[in-house]
Amino acid sequence: MNTKPKVLVTGSTGKTGGAVVRELLRLGWPVRALVRNHDARGEELKRLGAEVVAADMYDPQQLLEAMRGTQRAYFVPPMRPYIIQAATAFAVAAHEAKLEAIVQMSQWTSNPVHPALMTRQTWLLDRTFAMIPGVGHIIVTPGVFADNVLRIMDFAALLGILPVLTGTSKSAPVGNEDIARVVAALLKNPTPYLGKRYRPTGPKLISAQEAAAIIQSVLGRRVRPFNLPTWMFLKVARMQGVDPFQIYSLLDYLEDHKRGVFAFEGGVNNVVEELTGAPAENFETTVRRYAAMPFTQRTFANCLRAFVNCNLTPFYPGYNLKRYAGEHEFPQVPHPQLSAESEFWRKEHTLNSSKPAMAL
């Protein structure tokens, strides 16, 4: 009989949630994977050995039922306008279920006066979870996910270009698998880390231009970095069906990136190795994994789709984010500040690797 505490993983069909499920199962830990709906992705997790349950992330009663019998949890906030509703519902359920500890995915830019609503809600979420009576809490705040860079690798593989949205600024992209190893290490033994936050990074700062050179080396053919104008990015995002709320926030993150927020205090640390015993994989290794994925293969269907979409982009309507925000009546702050400009953010994130959360 497996006597290890059962772990609840939210966002289990997503990028980090799915990686955490697989890592915990690999280590022999019992996992309950929370999904929105039962589908093929959940069936795959079940095949790997996870218990799969469906629940509405905004419903505290459904969440409580999903938590019963688990002792620890990994919480990934849904990237939707009502993040704080899901977080509060989860906090209420966690208290009622008497969870031992929660490892929470946060943001490196977490900031109460940030122009991005998602970031302001994330900052509130950080505090909400820290105040759950009797439940331990650990924050994980990656900077730039390698997946954010490589999810458009098909442009490089099929068209020979890499769209650039961050100018020449640098970050240390970290792979989903390394984030999962960090989260799993914290879930296995949370006690020494309670009340702290950890920022896993890749091993080296790189620019988009350097990323393009690495991708070119892996693919063995020319890849040219291309500065993508915002108006065209909004068209591409809508064409690909990206949620407008994510784009609404992303534009501010791109500006923060350009101003060096992801290179703050050197931008690189040893959190992955310190917590897991193995160093973070380098960007080339991550690229090689993506280069083997079906969406980057130079098949006739992939090449045709890329060619057609590329030529249709100028004629496709882009997102009107100002109208979108107005229609949803998003709350605003009187004097918004990017994290790169915020003295409060800098104080809160100085030597952030394992620092307790600072009170407002």
Does pLDDT of 313 surpass 80? Answer: yes
pLDDT computed for residue 1 by the predictor:
58
pLDDT computed for residue 310 by the predictor:
86
Q: Report pLDDT digits (tens) over 104-137.
A: 999 999 999 999 999 999 999 999 999 999 999 9
Does pLDDT of 325 surpass 90? Answer: no
321 φ/ψ sector (left φ>0, alpha ψ -120 to 50, else beta): alpha
Provide the pLDDT confidence category of residue 357 given band limits of 50, 70 and 90.
very low
pLDDT computed for residue 34 by the predictor:
95
pLDDT computed for residue 79 by the predictor:
84
pTM summary value: 0.93
Q: Please compute the mean of the pLDDT values over residues 250-266 and round it to a whole number.
A: 94
Q: Report pLDDT digits (tens) over 265-288.
A: 999 999 999 999 999 999 999 999
DSSP β-bridge partners for residue 74: 9, 103
Provide the pLDDT confidence category of residue 356 given band limits of 50, 70 and 90.
very low
pLDDT computed for residue 241 by the predictor:
86
Does pLDDT of 353 surpass 80? Answer: no
Q: Is the dihedral of CA 14, 251, 290, 274 positive or negative?
A: negative
Domains of the chain in start order, with CATH, are: 7-144+175-198 (3.40.50.720), 146-172+205-262+283-338 (3.90.25.10)
Does pLDDT of 199 surpass 80? Answer: yes
Q: Are 226 and 138 in contact (CB under 8 A)?
A: no
Does pLDDT of 359 surpass 50? Answer: no
Q: Which residue has the tokens 């896993």?
A: 200
For the chain, the average pLDDT equals: 92
Does pLDDT of 298 surpass 80? Answer: yes
Q: Report pLDDT digits (tens) over 203-235.
A: 999 999 999 999 999 999 999 999 999 999 999
pLDDT-above-70 percentage for the chain? 97
pLDDT computed for residue 25 by the predictor:
96
Of residues 95 and 38, more confidence is placed in 95
Does pLDDT of 360 surpass 80? Answer: no
Does pLDDT of 355 surpass 80? Answer: no
pLDDT computed for residue 351 by the predictor:
57
For residue 359, what are the contacts with CB-CB under 8 A and spacing of at least 6?
none
DSSP β-bridge partners for residue 8: 32, 73
Q: Is the dihedral of CA 254, 260, 263, 264 positive or negative?
A: negative
Does pLDDT of 2 surpass 80? Answer: no
pLDDT computed for residue 314 by the predictor:
86
Q: Report pLDDT digits (tens) over 4-36.
A: 999 999 999 888 999 999 999 999 999 999 998
